[in-house]
Amino acid sequence: DSGVTQTPKHLITATGQRVTLRCSPRSGDLSVYWYQQSLDQGLQFLIQYYNGEERAKGNILERFSAQQFPDLHSELNLSSLELGDSALYFCASSPSSGRGTGELFFGEGSRLTVL
Amino acid sequence: GDSVTQMEGPVTLSEEAFLTINCTYTATGYPSLFWYVQYPGEGLQLLLKATKADDKGSNKGFEATYRKETTSFHLEKGSVQVSDSAVYFCALNEDNDMRFGAGTRLTVKP
């Protein structure tokens, strides 16, 4: 158990809909990362937050947005869903407070299926 | 920018065979290097890491050595088991910027 909690574990929805994925980082971790893993297994970095502030942005679509709340949990909002958005979405956290080089701790992921 | 390149899979081996998964990186400074493993239906978990040149990370019979001169961090195991079947990701972290390779799927057959 990594200590990172993601909900829901599975989600099935229709095209055009909007969903929210939730992540609770490990206790004390200030950084939260979101990744998308497609069927071909590659991990695509979406966005990183540190202590409530956006720190880095990857190839995140404009239809997607995220935020980190004062209690450090994070939400990833996916809107106007398309079939191609079906994927595993991972959250990871890290204790890094700045120029860190440490490991990330991953949740078990939220599997989104868009029909 | 920093990047990680790892050998493409899938890799299929028989039980007790020797495993090597190649990983090379490009970085502007001195990153930490990692191997993560993803078992079926699970999230990624850290397998081993090395934080400076010539460090050797090891865990569960797997090992990898941080080679600055060849910018490599190849994963090895002397005798794989069926339970090692998973996807393996090489990664680097420099200044809190984590980069992953594309992943290599390993299947071990009895």
> How high is the pLDDT of residue B68?
94
Structure tokens at A113: 């299926």
> How high is the pLDDT of residue A32?
94
Give the residue from A48, A57, A97, A103 with the most B CB atoms within 10 Å of its CB, the best one to mutate.
A103
- B91 vs chain A: nearest CA distance in angstroms? 9
> How high is the pLDDT of residue A100?
60
Distance from C-alpha of B107 to C-alpha of B97, rounded to nearest angstrom: 30
Q: A42 or B65: which carries more pLDDT confidence? A: B65
- Please provide residue B82's backbone torsions phi and psi, each rounded to the nearest 5 degrees: -55, -35
Which of B:57-86 have CB within 8 Å of A?
none
Would you say B34 and B48 are in contact if contact means Cβ atoms under 8 Å apart?
yes
Of B31, B102, B28, B104, the C-alpha closest to B67 is B31
pLDDT tens-place string over residues B18-60: 999 999 999 988 899 999 999 988 899 999 999 999 999 999 9
Q: For residue A41, give the chain B residue with the closest CA.
A: B103
Would you say A110 and A46 are in contact if contact means Cβ atoms under 8 Å apart?
no
Q: Does A100 sit within 8 Å of B93, measured CB to CB?
A: yes
Q: Does A101 sit within 8 Å of B32, measured CB to CB?
A: yes
Please tell me if residue B87 touches chain A, with a CB cutoff of 8 Å. yes
> How high is the pLDDT of residue A98?
54
- Please provide residue B46's backbone torsions phi and psi, each rounded to the nearest 5 degrees: -65, 130
> How high is the pLDDT of residue A97?
58
Q: Encode chain A (115 residues) as per-residue pLDDT tens digits.
A: 889 999 999 999 999 999 999 999 999 899 999 999 987 768 899 999 999 999 889 889 999 999 999 999 999 999 999 999 999 999 999 886 555 668 899 999 999 999 9
Q: Mind giving me the DSSP string for B8-54?
A: -S-EEEETT--EEE-EEEE-SS--EEEEEEE-TTS-EEEEEEE-STT
Which of A:75-104 have CB within 8 Å of B?
90, 92, 94, 96, 98-104
Evaluate the CA torsion angle A100, A92, A55, B90 in order and state its sign: positive
Please tell me if residue B95 touches chain A, with a CB cutoff of 8 Å. yes
Residues near A40 by beta carbon (within 8 Å), at least 6 away in sequence: none
Give the residue from B4, B38, B44 with the most A CB atoms within 10 Å of its CB, the best one to mutate.
B44
Q: In what order do the strands lie in the sheet with A74-78?
A: A5-7, A19-24, A74-78, A64-68
Chain A neighbors of B36, CB-CB under 8 A: 106
> How high is the pLDDT of residue A85?
95
Q: Does B95 sit within 8 Å of A99, measured CB to CB?
A: yes
Q: Does B45 sit within 8 Å of A2, measured CB to CB?
A: yes
> How high is the pLDDT of residue B17?
97
